[in-house]
Amino acid sequence: MRPATVQPLPRRTLLILSVGGLAAALAGCRTTDVLPTGDDLSEVQTEGALPIVNTLRQKKGLAGLARKPEAEVAALFQAKRMAKAGKMSHLIGFNDSFLDRMKATEVPLPAAENIATGQDSVERAVQAWIDSKKHLENMLGAYQGLGVAVARHPSSANRPYWAMVLSA
């Protein structure tokens, strides 16, 4: 769903967006200049990431993760935001909040987010996270759910932006 007009929002306004057919609400967010539009190329990539992450977790004696639709919505939303903004960042725009984004998309808490850019496949994105100590710690954390998405946008030269959301 594309907003008819894009106007700056008052601080406590709720904006409802459709992300992958599911609704996501952003509370107190003033990032209307970087909200996803229909101009991007984006898709959920959880099925490609899940076997890699679960093999890694099993090697460490941890239970595997399951696909979590709420985590997929949150990952898709974040990937689209980064692609639209043309930058890799957990926080985009004034008053952005990871916790608010997770609550708005009903991601069970606790939750964590890994982001990446430039990798041409889900396998390479997951490998980049494995090769990063902090991202690896997230993947080996006490989580049960997983969502992974990629987005490209013409404003960012169709560069791939990846987001992984891990959840309770």
Higher-confidence position of 6 and 39:
39
Work out the percent of the chain whose per-residue pLDDT is above 70.
Answer: 76
| Mean pLDDT of the chain, nearest integer | 78
Higher-confidence position of 120 and 31:
120
Cα 32 to Cα 167: distance, rounded to the nearest angstrom: 26
pLDDT single digits (tens) 23-71: 332 333 323 233 344 555 888 999 999 999 999 999 999 999 999 999 9
Which letter, b or e, does each residue of 78-90 get, where b requires 16 or more Cβ atoms within 10 Å of its Cβ? bbbbbbbbeebee
The whole-model pTM stands at 0.74
Alpha helices in 27-147 (DSSP H): 46-59, 69-85, 98-104, 122-130, 133-139
Provide mean pLDDT across the span 100-110.
92
- Please determine, for residue 140, whether its predicted confidence score (pLDDT) is greater than 70: yes
pLDDT for 40: 57
Provide mean pLDDT across the span 81-94.
81
